Amino acid sequence: DDKTIYAKTTFPRVVPYYKDGLIEVYRKALWEMYNSKLFWIDENHVVKSATTVGNIIGKWHPHGDASSYQAMVTLAQDYTNNEPLIYGAGNWGNILGDAAAAYRYTNCCLSEFFCDCIEQIKPEIVDFIPNFDNTLMEPDYIPFKLPILLVNGSYGIADSYITSIPCHNLADVCDISIKYVKNKHIPNEILVDGFYPDFPYYGIVTNRSEVERFYKMNVPGNIKMKATIETDRINNKIFIKDLP
């Protein structure tokens, strides 16, 4: 029925695909930049973000420039991702909530991390599907060498769907991946032993034992965090060092 069709089209907009850890618009943004060969060389080899936004909405994602640019901004922010997949030059926002500059003022390319951990995107490796008007083909997923979903996490909400997956340390993700590849029947409690969230701007996890429980028991749970502060009682000041 119509509700089922709507649900199926909404789902990939908010729930990341486990194979690449990306929601639909993130994947389309990265594919456009990959297809345009906007690979990392150094911080000077960037293009105007407006060019990429125009290509995204013209070729892959006809839902307006705001959602396409916001996807690029999210992928470029070092306080949102442990390992940003886009390198952004200019004002891309900050952790205090200031928004990024308009796309006509910023520049970008694929990040060095993206270029290091990407496999070749070609039909021999991944399936390709038609774009929205059946004039072009795009990959079903981005073939990374490691689970980006664990490294950068994912957060999104739309209609009745919500995703909230925390970031994890890159070295820890590599370690846990190697353990699983060597033994795909390893018990979950052993696999995730010592595996905890690790956010780009630190903060202090206050319910560590609870986090360990729902990681090992594979049940949903909440991560409670607080800022790292220093108190200057002589001058009556509080310095916020890190924000969750």
Catalytic residue among 6, 18, 105, 155: 105
Determine whether 105 is an active site residue.
yes
Do 83 and 170 meet the contact criterion of CB atoms below 8 Å apart?
A: yes
**Residues tagged active-site:** 105
